């Protein structure tokens, strides 16, 4: 089938590479003037991979929309609302109110700041029901995939038939897809693992990496309670969308969120996007709304805001008054 990829960063370029390598027609839509897009268009490569000759390029969202029924979106989560509004302006069909039969698959992990909305909710608010929205989440880095290291990921859309169709059409020996059955849990879990990843990087930067085991246990429990309060299944958090993504996010040298956390506590600048920073703030809004305590998310947000020295904040987080392990 034909697939459009919106975006030109490291994950978007991987999506184009992957879709083309598995036999699909691919049109990559980037922003004119963007260094990453112009580099791909001129050289067909970046620091992570080389794109097949079959991949086409455009800066025209209307052309990108017309090319395919499956459209993969990989941009900053905080840019999604503007992206949807701009797409609506460029494509009259999106303003008609009539379902188009097309699917936006959101291939990024985050919650909108400051609303706390899940990304599929942002699509629904901006585009209504003229498109269907799904998510592609789970562990994996382009560097590993391009080297032939396989992994398991998750597709969910809230529609069982659509979820299965997407997962089956995108699967390959390199990526095994699970069918998601809990869109709330998949989106919140995938977004929140980036916040836990920042906390892991902070521990690395302070020489406290022995606490990562406790961080993982408490992180999964903390987010599972939130997902349950939001109407999702707590068990989803223990799957590939969250706990199953911990290795790639809390330990991998390729993890932007882990590296960002390490830089924060060392007083260094980090030049790349770390989605978990905005997500931490969004999760605090959800904490207030649901009444669910999120101590790890609070600690990360306070450290980013430099409210206290990082070591003091993290010590307070892990050396608190005695509580039941199940609820700590």
Domain boundaries along the sequence of the chain: 2-181, 184-327
Residue ranges of the chain with pLDDT lower than 50?
321-322, 327-328
Look at residue 320 in the predicted model and tell me its pLDDT: 64
What is the rounded CA–CA span in Å between residue 40 and residue 91?
A: 25
What is the rounded CA–CA span in Å between residue 211 and residue 318?
A: 8
CATH classification (class only), 184-327: mainly alpha
pLDDT tens, residue by residue, 198-227: 999 999 999 999 999 999 999 999 999 999
Catalytic residue among 193, 212, 308, 311: 193
Residues in the chain: 328
Beta-carbon-side half-sphere exposure of residue 186 (alpha carbons within 13 Å): 24
Look at residue 269 in the predicted model and tell me its pLDDT: 95
* Burial of 291 from C-beta contacts in 10 A (0-12 / 13-18 / 19+): exposed
**45: which DSSP letter?**
B
Active site residue 323: no
Look at residue 77 in the predicted model and tell me its pLDDT: 97
CATH classification (class only), 2-181: alpha beta
Look at residue 319 in the predicted model and tell me its pLDDT: 78
Are domains 2-181 and 184-327 of this chain identical in fold? Answer: no
Look at residue 318 in the predicted model and tell me its pLDDT: 87
CB proximity list for 195: less than 8 A, separation 6 or greater: 257, 276, 279, 280, 283, 296, 297, 300
């Amino acid at each position: 089938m034909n697939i459009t990829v919106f975006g030109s960063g490291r994950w978007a370029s991987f999506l184009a590479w992957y879709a083309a390598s598995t036999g699909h027609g691919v049109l990559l839509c980037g922003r004119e003037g963007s260094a990453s897009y112009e580099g791909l268009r001129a050289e067909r490569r970046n620091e992570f991979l080389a794109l097949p000759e079959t991949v086409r390029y455009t800066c025209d969202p209307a052309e990108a929309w017309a090319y395919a029924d499956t459209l993969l979106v990989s941009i900053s989560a905080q840019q999604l609302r503007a992206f949807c509004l701009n797409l609506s302006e460029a494509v009259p069909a999106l303003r008609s109110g009539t379902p188009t039969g097309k699917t936006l698959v959101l291939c990024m992990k985050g919650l909108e700041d400051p609303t706390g909305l899940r990304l599929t909710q942002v699509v629904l608010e901006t585009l209504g029901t003229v498109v269907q929205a799904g998510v592609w989440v789970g562990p994996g880095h382009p560097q590993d995939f391009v080297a032939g290291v396989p992994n398991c990921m998750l597709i969910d859309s809230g529609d069982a038939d659509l979820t299965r169709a997407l997962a089956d059409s995108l699967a390959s020996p390199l990526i095994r897809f699970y069918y998601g059955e809990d869109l709330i849990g998949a989106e919140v879990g995938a977004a929140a693992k980036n916040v836990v990843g920042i906390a892991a990087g902070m521990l690395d930067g302070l020489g406290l990496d022995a606490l990562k085991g406790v961080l993982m246990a408490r992180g999964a429990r903390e987010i599972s309670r939130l997902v349950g309060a939001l109407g999702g299944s707590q068990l989803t958090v223990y799957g590939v969308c969250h706990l199953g993504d911990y290795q790639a996010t809390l330990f991998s040298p390729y993890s932007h969120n882990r590296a960002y956390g390490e830089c924060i506590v060392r007083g260094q600048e980090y030049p790349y996007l770390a989605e978990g920073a905005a997500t931490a703030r969004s999760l605090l809004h959800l904490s207030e709304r649901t009444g669910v305590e999120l101590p790890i998310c609070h600690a990360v947000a306070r450290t980013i805001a430099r409210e206290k020295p990082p070591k003091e904040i993290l010590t307070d987080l892990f050396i608190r008054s005695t509580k039941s392990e199940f609820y700590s």
